Amino acid sequence: MTGDEQNIKILFFGDLVGRPGRFAVRDFLNGTFVSSNTLQPFNPSTFTIANVENASHGFGLTEKNYNELSEYGIDCMTSGNHIWDKKEIFNYIDKADKLIRPFNYPENTPGVGSRIFETENGVKIGVINVLGRVFMAPVESQWTVVKDEIERLKSITPVVIVDFHAEATAEKICFGKFCSELGVSAFLGTHTHVQTADEQIINNTGYITDAGFCGAAESVIGMDYKTSLNRFTTVIPERYDVADSNVVQINAVEVEINQVSGHTVAIKRVFCYADKSKKEEENEK
């Protein structure tokens, strides 16, 4: 990262999966996450975003967990197709001023698909959450609905972040290039829970196909292996359980953006993991 005072640093966490993901992010932000590898380049960021659609036992977000994540220091929470899985979401989404649901849901859907946030230093940051359509439930076409919204956000601030929650890699890459031509500052893919190694700057836009996930490392994208195996081998519906693992991981992306131009000047992946059992052993000594 450049260290230029005109730039702001935005830290984006990939999908938080259940309590392991929430607690890993909590520890990471408060400085108690003891990394077992050497890839922990975390520095205090100006603004923190996390995708939270899987934060409450792997499906949806409870109001209690929303409040906890706010207390951990997360400034903005994006989501995806699972945001509706906890039905209490309808009771609080319209008053949850840090939470964004996908923009391309039909008109009159509860919640909002984009927000303007303001940092303590007065920097305005626009964030828009968009849902893909390939291999996903049908929603409004992102190609036709986001252009005007991105232009609206850019009329307020040059710093605009897109969380594109989608299944297909080709759709993410193509839509990322499309959004870069519209002048967004960063385009960060979510949903598939596997961090890709293609972070880059495209047309001054910070880009990654998928930011990955935060949660149990010894798992199947955050979920229990045996439950996942049963679903694949028997094809009988069985509810997924969040994995219980001593090893937790953080997948995130740090983007440095010039607050005047809105251009990304640096981007890097964050991948680190911690063994909670070793930490407990040290505490016992």
Q: Which residues are catalytic?
A: 82
- DSSP for residue 74: -
CB 137 within 8 Å of CB 102: no
Gap between the Cα atoms of 40 and 57, Å rounded = 26
Gap between the Cα atoms of 215 and 224, Å rounded = 11
Gap between the Cα atoms of 73 and 28, Å rounded = 11
For residue 257, which phi and psi values (nearest 5 degrees)? Answer: -125, 135
CB 94 within 8 Å of CB 73: no
Question: Please, which residues bridge with residue 61 across strands?
Answer: none
Gap between the Cα atoms of 166 and 102, Å rounded = 11
Run of H or E including 201: strand 200-202
